[in-house]
Structure 1
Amino acid sequence: MDVILFRFGNFPVTVLEAGLALGLFVVVAISVLLIVVLRQSRSRADAEIRASEHTHELEERISELLRTQSEMTGRMQTMAEVFGSRQSDMMRAVNERLDGMGQKLGQTMTDTTKHTNDGLRQLHERLAVIDRAQRTITDLSGQVVELQTILANKQTRGAFGQGRMEAIIQDALPATAFSFQQTLSTGVRPDCVVHLPNGAPPLVIDAKFPLEGYNLIRNAERPEEAKQAQAQFRRDVGKHVQDIRERYLIPGETQDTAFLFVPSESVFAEIHENFEDIIQKAHRARVVFVSPSLLLLSIQVVQSLLKDARMREQAHLIQAEVGKLMDDVNRLDERVRKLQTHFGQTSKDIDQILISTDKITKRGRNIEELDLGSLEELPSSERGNNQPTLLNPALKSVPAGE
């Protein structure tokens, strides 16, 4: 009944109001029609009969109209009830859909919240990783600054190169295969001396590579400064190579080749790429530039040589032990042969014993087969004889000596 059919301006018109308005309209129309009829009846006196007839017709029509109005009112009520039931059904369906949408929306919001929380947790974890990486980078930056400070000082730089070289050698060689700061016959003390096998002279390694010129080359901003820095780097390296040759290459006491340890792979690559003349000068002076990786490779070669020398030294001991083992095997073979002889004699004795036991067994069976009889059955001439008479001649067939 409260279903809105249409709006008239800002006023909503429901089904009930529309039905009432329609009934009112019908009543007004009937009233107007009655007024018109009455006026016509007044103006036309001669049509009273027809007016009465028309009135009767009008009454019938009015009754029909009223009946029609009642039918329309019933239909309108039925329509209102139908609209009301449909409205309730529609409201129930709408409520069910709203409930379903609410549940779906709540589940979606729950899933979205879960995904958001997971994303935030992963984001926090990644931020923590980034934070740790940033702290690591900060620490590395501090270490790089500290390393630059170390390399800027000549004494600390020498200690840094010495430390790297010592770490490589100590990790690869036994303690008896090298010596640090060993004094040579000339009174000089190289950074490291590697003892070679088979009485060969030791190998000298120097770790005081000059890096002042290289730092100037790296920090040069103009071509003139770079050129001056390169010239200084050549002079410093050339003088250091000459010093190694004069101080550490002692005939008969050290090898005729020495190693100059470069503590940085980048510096080593820069020298071989842009300073070929320095490399050639060092080769002529019997001085070899080695980076940390090349030093490790060279030390591994020395380690292989030491291992081969130890194996050669142990080969004599192995041969002696093998000789002793062969003597033991020969003695064992002799004793086994003697034991085999004893076993053969024992087997022969066992065969003789088996023959004797066989004879004894045969004699026992012959004794079991004897038929001794009674003394009354013997002849009178034989009763006085103390020796028994053997009635079984089979006993005479066995030799007494056997």
Structure 2
Amino acid sequence: MPDWLPLALIGGALGLALLLLLLALRGRRGEDVARLGAMMEALAAAQDRLARLSEDRARDQERSLAARLDAAAERSQASASAIQQRLSVIDAARQNIEALGSQVTSLAAVLGNKQARGALGEVQLRDLVADRLPPSGFAWQHTLSNGTRCDCLIRLPFPPGPIAVDSKFPLEAWAAMQDAPDSAARALATRRFTADIRRHVADISQKYLIPGETAEGALMFLPSEAVHATLHAAHAELVAEAARRGVHIVGPSSLWAVLNTMRGLLRDARLQDEARRIRHEVEALAADTARLERRIGALRGHFANMQQDVRDIEITAEKIIRRSEAIRALDIPEDATARAAE
């Protein structure tokens, strides 16, 4: 209800009262005055009802406003809680970023040190080899007959024979090639990168390829997929040159595939060894069986001879029994026997 409506009604009631008063003063008839009085009473009753309705409306508006204020307060509290949770998440993310930054700094320090970088490559190589091959299939820091020591020797049977694996991490030249500001600097870094790879390939080819002791090829392990991908994508001729010298360049993914193949070779070699042992045992068992048959044949011959001897003894015993019975059957007088005795 508009706020001006109660005031207008009150003003109308006052105007009507004044009109009635003027009519009474002018001497109008009593009937008109009574009618106007009834109208005044009806107007007063309507005003009371309007006032009560206004109060009810006001109370309803107050309750509605209080409910809206409570809902707004709840929403504000929920928003504050959500903001607090987001702030907690942001703080945790900030802490993680700080920790990651320190780890990146530590990793940069490790990669910047050649010895530490080499140790990191050896650790990655150890994890890959130990995960795919049995303990008897490899040896760490194996010393060859020429006095050189390789990072890992994979003990494959001939052919192809044991394969030496050496871990190399040419990071400086690769990083310089990636961060080169212009084409001249990039070309210089590329020449340095290819020179490092060729030097590593030459070292591996000279040290770890020994006829009769190792296989005709060796593996150069690059612990970085990025370096390995750059080498194969941009310097395929260098990879082919290394393969012609008996050095195969592998990264973590390709080494994993190569180790799977070697695992199958080792399993086949072990199965062949077991098959040879089984065949040897079967041949020995066949020889023992033949020997047993010969001895059983000899025993059977001895048993047959013994049976014949037993039959001969039985025949002789029967003859003796018959002769004794014949002797008992003879009728010889006793006086003749006595005279024969004298």
- Same fold per superposition (TM over 0.5): yes
Q: Which residue of 2 aligns with 1:363?
A: none
Structure exhibiting the larger radius of gyration computed from Cα positions: 1
Structure 2 CA distance for aligned equivalents of residues 95 and 127 of structure 1: 42
Structure 2 CA distance for aligned equivalents of residues 172 and 184 of structure 1: 23
Matched, 1:288 2:248: yes
Pick the aligned partner of 2:236 from 276, 296, 301: 276
Q: Please list, as runs of the form range in 1=range in 2, the aligned pairs for 1:117-132 lying within 5 A after superposition.
A: 117-132=77-92
Structure 2 CA distance for aligned equivalents of residues 284 and 276 of structure 1: 13
Deviations 1:298-357 (A, max 9, x none): 112212222233333334566769x99xx9xxxxxxxxxxxxxxxxxxxxxxxxxxxxxx
Matched-pair contact (CA < 8 Å) for 2:17–2:40: no
Q: CA deviation at 1:122?
A: 4.3
Pick the aligned partner of 2:178 from 218, 224, 233: 218
Pick the aligned partner of 2:189 from 223, 226, 229: 229
Q: CA deviation at 1:71?
A: 1.7
Indicate the structure whose relative CO is greater, using CA pairs within 8 Å and at least 6 residues apart.
2
Q: Which residue of 1 aligns with 2:217?
A: 257
Q: Please list, as runs of the form range in 1=range in 2, the aligned pairs for 1:3-402 lying within 5 A after superposition.
A: 6=8, 13=11, 15=13, 17-26=14-23, 30=26, 62=27, 65-91=28-54, 93-95=56-58, 97-98=60-61, 101=64, 105-106=66-67, 108-197=68-157, 201-315=161-275
Matched-pair contact (CA < 8 Å) for 1:260–1:288: yes
Farther-moved stretch of structure 1 (267-276 vs 65-74) = 65-74
TM-score, length basis structure 1: 0.61
Matched-pair contact (CA < 8 Å) for 1:23–1:69: no
Farther-moved stretch of structure 1 (228-237 vs 137-146) = 137-146
TM-score, length basis structure 2: 0.71
Q: Aligned in 2, Cα 1:5/1:185: closer, same or farther, shift over 3 Å? A: closer
Structure 1 CA distance for aligned equivalents of residues 277 and 76 of structure 2: 76
Matched-pair contact (CA < 8 Å) for 1:19–1:76: no
Structure 1 residue identity aligned to 2:50 = Q
Structure 2 CA distance for aligned equivalents of residues 279 and 92 of structure 1: 95
Structure 2 CA distance for aligned equivalents of residues 197 and 115 of structure 1: 75
Matched-pair contact (CA < 8 Å) for 1:204–1:254: yes
Q: CA deviation at 1:70?
A: 2.4
Provide the identity percentage: 30
Q: Aligned in 2, Cα 1:314/1:267: closer, same or farther, shift over 3 Å? A: same
What secondary structure is seen at the aligned counterpart in 2 of 1:181? strand
Q: Aligned in 2, Cα 1:78/1:115: closer, same or farther, shift over 3 Å? A: closer
Structure 1 CA distance for aligned equivalents of residues 6 and 112 of structure 2: 95
Structure 2 residue identity aligned to 1:298 = V
Deviations 1:361-381 (A, max 9, x none): xxxxxxxxxxxxxxxxxxxxx
Structure 1 residue identity aligned to 2:18 = A
Structure 1 CA distance for aligned equivalents of residues 38 and 120 of structure 2: 110
Aligned length: 280
Q: Aligned in 2, Cα 1:131/1:278: closer, same or farther, shift over 3 Å? A: farther
Structure 1 CA distance for aligned equivalents of residues 19 and 191 of structure 2: 117
Please list every run of 5 or more consecutive structure 2 residues that lacks an aligned counterpart in the other structure.
290-342
Matched-pair contact (CA < 8 Å) for 1:205–1:258: yes
Q: Aligned in 2, Cα 1:291/1:134: closer, same or farther, shift over 3 Å? A: farther
What secondary structure is seen at the aligned counterpart in 2 of 1:182? strand
Structure 2 CA distance for aligned equivalents of residues 75 and 192 of structure 1: 120
Structure 2 CA distance for aligned equivalents of residues 118 and 243 of structure 1: 68
Q: CA deviation at 1:20?
A: 4.1
Structure 1 CA distance for aligned equivalents of residues 158 and 174 of structure 2: 40
Q: CA deviation at 1:143?
A: 2.2
Deviations 1:192-226 (A, max 9, x none): 11111467521111102322221221232122111
Q: CA deviation at 1:80?
A: 3.0
Q: Aligned in 2, Cα 1:131/1:231: closer, same or farther, shift over 3 Å? A: same
Structure 2 CA distance for aligned equivalents of residues 6 and 124 of structure 1: 53
Q: CA deviation at 1:134?
A: 3.3
Matched-pair contact (CA < 8 Å) for 1:210–1:240: no
Please list every run of 5 or more consecutive structure 1 residues that lacks an aligned counterpart in the other structure.
31-61, 328-402
